[in-house]
């Protein structure tokens, strides 16, 4: 398969999405047996292996290349093509959207801020499933107030001419760090009180001596995130992303993708789960009311998310208004899993078969929806102050 096989993409227009989706679904139908998960209730290890296998098959067939720039091994076209790929894979339950969409969180940042040779080398590895990357932002004393981070990078010699920096400190809640070959890491390079003006981003190899990863168990029993310790870790200056003390722009560049493409993929998955709930729930008035409420929440969210994606594709800069989507997503996700708990009494709590297990794990994971990617309280503060003009930042 080659780009020329996709006549729809020659025009590079986002409104060709329908045809792209049709061709993609036809290909996925044809390869369904090959791509299907091999386990009914996969462990995290099995799940990660499944995702990387799917990525590789899709990369080899070309699908993982659409929407990515040619300079990093992509085939070009609208970024909405790759978002749509993630949504279709999530709908088909071939990948978990939270893990798959880490590509959307980290690869655009690499493309925009890394040296072009570095981006050209590593982005295809991420797309093809050869590598995983993680996001080293949060620290034990730094979550919502990211500008106060303290993990420090110091130059070996003069900051202007040093070829190596040394990193010391700790990150926490780093998703999938134990599976990752690289980390997009925020470090303090200015004075301790320099806040967002003294932060530098690096792209760190996780097998560098001095990096220690300790997986942490989440409430659902899955060891999906980790503490990461940096003990005098040498990082070449050429791995700096953007300029020295320019790391805040790197951190902020992630927002438009996290709140558009990633959300679109997650919403596709939540619709699928709603469909599964409808199949399993009793067919009565109470179920209809509960399911109807969730469907409305998801629909409102999807309508808003769709508009955001089109705005992003047309070159608009996303800002505080995406906090509304974050609140809607977290609320709808929790409403869906609360509905599952109400309509399938005892299943989430007590049953042990793979289906119950997946509801239980996801119910518990949905509690984190109001925390990751910026807590719901912080988003409400942003909405109040920046969108509704209800006072200034503290
Ligand atoms: C599943 C999951 C995956 C994650 N993955 C990653 C990852 O890969 N990489 C990474 O770097 N981080 C990751 N995180 C961390 C996440 O970004 C932080 O947990 C989040 O930013 C909140 O920070 P905190 O935990 O330090 O809480 P804190 O910031 O300490 O907040 C504690 C409480 O205070 C409230 N609060 C804080 N400030 C304000 C304010 N100004 N106004 C109102 N209320 C406020 C919060 O809403 C919260 O209820 C992940 C978290 C989860 C749950």
pLDDT per residue as tens digits for the range 253-276: 998 888 889 999 999 999 999 999
Q: How far is CA 329 from CA 58, 335, 369, in A?
A: 28, 10, 8
Cβ atoms of 239 and 274 within 8 Å: the answer is no
Where does the pLDDT of residue 383 fall: very low under 50, low under 70, confident under 90, or very high at 90 and above? very high
pLDDT (average), residues 285-305 = 97
**Rounded CA gap, 72 and 68, in Å?**
7
pTM score:
0.95
**Rounded CA gap, 390 and 394, in Å?**
12
Give the helix/strand (H/E) hosting 284: none
| Ligand 1 atom 31 nearest Cα | 144
| Ligand 1 atom 41 nearest Cα | 378
Average pLDDT score, the chain: 93
Residue 115 CB burial class (10 angstroms; 0-12, 13-18, ≥19): middle
> In a 3-state reduction of DSSP, which class is residue 178?
helix
What percent of the chain is predicted at pLDDT more than 90?
83
Domains in the chain, CATH or no CATH each:
7-131 (1.10.540), 134-247 (2.40.110.10), 254-387 (1.20.140.10)
Atom of ligand 1 nearest to the CA of 373: 17
Cβ atoms of 342 and 290 within 8 Å: the answer is yes
Characterise 202 by phi-psi region: left (phi > 0), alpha (psi -120 to 50), beta (else): beta
User: What number of residues does the chain have?
Assistant: 394
Atom of ligand 1 nearest to the CA of 102: 8
Q: Rounded to the nearest 5°, which phi and psi values hold at 225?
A: -120, 180
Please give the pLDDT value at position 369. 97
Which residues, judged by CB distance below 6 Å to any ligand atom, belong to the binding site of ligand 1? 134-138, 143-144, 173-175, 225, 368, 371-372, 374-375, 377-378, 381
Where does the pLDDT of residue 133 fall: very low under 50, low under 70, confident under 90, or very high at 90 and above? very high
In the block, which residue shows the tokens 């760190």?
204
Buried b (16+ CB within 10 A) or exposed e, 135-167: bbbbbeebbeebeebebbbebeeeeeeeeebbb
Cβ atoms of 247 and 199 within 8 Å: the answer is yes
pLDDT (average), residues 201-225 = 97
Tell which residue, 44, 67, 56, 113, has the closest CA to residue 361.
44
Q: Rounded to the nearest 5°, which phi and psi values hold at 188?
A: -90, 120
């Amino acid at each position: 398969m080659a780009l020329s096989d996709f006549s729809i993409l020659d025009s590079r227009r986002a409104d060709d999405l329908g045809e792209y989706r049709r061709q993609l679904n036809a290909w996925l139908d044809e390869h369904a047996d090959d791509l299907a998960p091999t386990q009914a209730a996969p462990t995290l290890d099995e799940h990660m292996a499944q995702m990387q296998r799917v990525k590789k098959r899709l990369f080899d067939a070309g699908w993982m290349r659409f929407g990515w720039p040619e300079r990093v091994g992509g085939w070009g076209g609208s970024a909405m093509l790759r978002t749509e790929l993630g949504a279709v894979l999530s709908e088909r339950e071939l990948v978990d959207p939270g893990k798959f969409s880490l590509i959307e969180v980290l690869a655009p940042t690499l493309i925009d801020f890394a040296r072009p040779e570095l981006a050209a080398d590593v982005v295809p590895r991420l797309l093809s499933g050869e590598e995983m990357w993680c996001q080293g932002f949060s620290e034990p004393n730094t979550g919502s107030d990211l500008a106060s981070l303290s993990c420090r990078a110091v130059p070996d010699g003069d900051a202007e001419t040093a070829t190596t920096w040394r990193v010391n400190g700790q990150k926490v809640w780093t998703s999938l760090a134990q599976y990752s070959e690289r980390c997009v890491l925020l470090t303090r390079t200015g004075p301790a009180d320099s806040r967002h003006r003294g932060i530098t981003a690096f792209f760190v190899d996780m097998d560098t001596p001095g990096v220690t990863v300790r997986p942490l168990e989440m409430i659902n029993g899955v060891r999906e995130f980790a503490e990461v310790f940096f003990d005098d870790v040498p990082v070449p200056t050429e791995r700096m992303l953007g300029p020295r003390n320019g790391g805040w722009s790197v951190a902020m560049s992630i927002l438009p993708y996290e709140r558009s493409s990633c959300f679109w993929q997650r919403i596709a998955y939540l619709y699928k789960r709603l469909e599964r709930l409808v199949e399993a729930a009793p067919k009565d008035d109470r179920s209809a009311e509960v399911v109807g409420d969730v469907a409305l929440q998801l629909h409102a969210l999807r309508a808003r998310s769709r508009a955001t994606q089109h705005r992003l594709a047309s070159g608009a800069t996303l800002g505080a208004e995406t906090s509304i989507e974050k609140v809607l997503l977290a609320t709808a996700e929790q409403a869906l899993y609360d509905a599952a708990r109400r309509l399938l009494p005892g299943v989430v709590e007590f049953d042990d078969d793979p289906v119950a297990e997946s509801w239980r794990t996801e119910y518990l994971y949905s509690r984190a929806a109001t925390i990751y990617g910026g807590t719901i309280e912080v988003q409400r503060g942003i909405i109040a102050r920046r969108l509704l003009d209800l006072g200034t930042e503290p």
